[in-house]
């Protein structure tokens, strides 16, 4: 009975961490501040900044002393002008979101079994282990997107936006935005939840093994 209670508590903790990680993952997808471009005065744009996200780009420039004007343009992976890192990151983040959702569904099933007393540690399909693997895979996808975009910023790579946006190929300076930090935290939370589920499974198996060998 104590084993059942400990298992349920571990699953609840892992579920909470995975839920926060999944929310951060979906939030980072919608944020536009993956890359922040600083544009000085040019023939195309007045001084301001350009925020490049996974699904849209926004241009901000001063129109008065205390206000900014924004022009946002959405795009998708079908747009040929997008570099490979952004198109790949779009798919990686979508995959991470789906894997995280499946992992949460799996642990909900495990919690249902735990609270109903149907906890089978030696079952062929263990939803706790499945959730751990799915969450780890989700964390890997997010981490790849983060590292790839970070490398693009550090190497000062440009983007050939359509002429209608009047955005230069490369900014004067660029840096990582807050969305990249949110994605880093999301990856950490997904990794942590996966480790919680898998480590609890293996530690439980270690405790049960001596009992089965004595019989």
Burial class (CB in 10 A: 0-12, 13-18, 19+), 204: middle
User: CA–CA separation, 40 vs 52, rounded Å?
Assistant: 17
3-state secondary structure of 175: strand
Find, among 38, 81, 74, the residue nearest to 54 by Cα.
Answer: 74
Locate the domains of the chain by residue range. Answer: 2-31+77-161+175-201
Per-residue pLDDT tens for 3-44?
444 556 677 888 889 999 999 999 999 999 999 998 876 665
Count CB-CB contacts under 10 A for residue 100. Answer: 30
3-state helix, strand, coil in the chain (%, to 5): 60, 15, 25
- Per-residue pLDDT band at 46 (split at 50, 70, 90): low
pTM of the model: 0.81
Q: Return the axis-axis angle of helices 127-154 and 84-115, rounded to nearest 10°.
A: 160
3-state secondary structure of 49: strand
Find, among 148, 117, 133, the residue nearest to 54 by Cα.
Answer: 148
Architecture of domain 2-31+77-161+175-201: Up-down Bundle (1.20)
Per-residue pLDDT tens for 91-135?
999 999 999 999 988 888 877 766 666 555 445 457 788 888 999
């Amino acid at each position: 009975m104590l084993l059942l209670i400990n298992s349920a508590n571990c699953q609840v903790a892992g579920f909470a961490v995975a839920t926060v990680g999944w929310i951060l993952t979906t939030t980072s997808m919608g944020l536009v501040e993956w890359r922040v471009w600083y544009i000085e005065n040019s023939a195309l744009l007045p001084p301001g900044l350009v925020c490049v996200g996974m699904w849209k780009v926004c241009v901000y420039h001063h129109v008065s002393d205390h206000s900014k004007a924004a022009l946002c343009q959405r795009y998708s992976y079908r747009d040929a002008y997008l570099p490979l890192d952004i198109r790949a990151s779009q798919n990686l983040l979508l995959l991470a979101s789906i894997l995280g959702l499946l992992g949460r569904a799996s642990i909900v099933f495990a919690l249902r079994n735990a609270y109903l007393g149907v906890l089978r540690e030696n079952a062929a399909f263990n939803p706790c282990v499945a959730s751990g693997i799915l969450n780890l895979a989700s964390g890997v996808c997010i981490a790849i997107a983060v590292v790839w975009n970070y490398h693009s910023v550090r190497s000062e790579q440009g983007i050939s936006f359509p002429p209608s946006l009047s955005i230069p190929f490369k900014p004067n300076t660029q840096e990582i935005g807050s969305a990249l930090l949110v994605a880093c935290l999301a990856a950490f939370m997904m990794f942590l939840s996966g480790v919680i589920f898998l480590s609890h499974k293996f530690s439980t198996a270690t405790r049960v093994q001596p009992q089965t060998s004595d019989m």
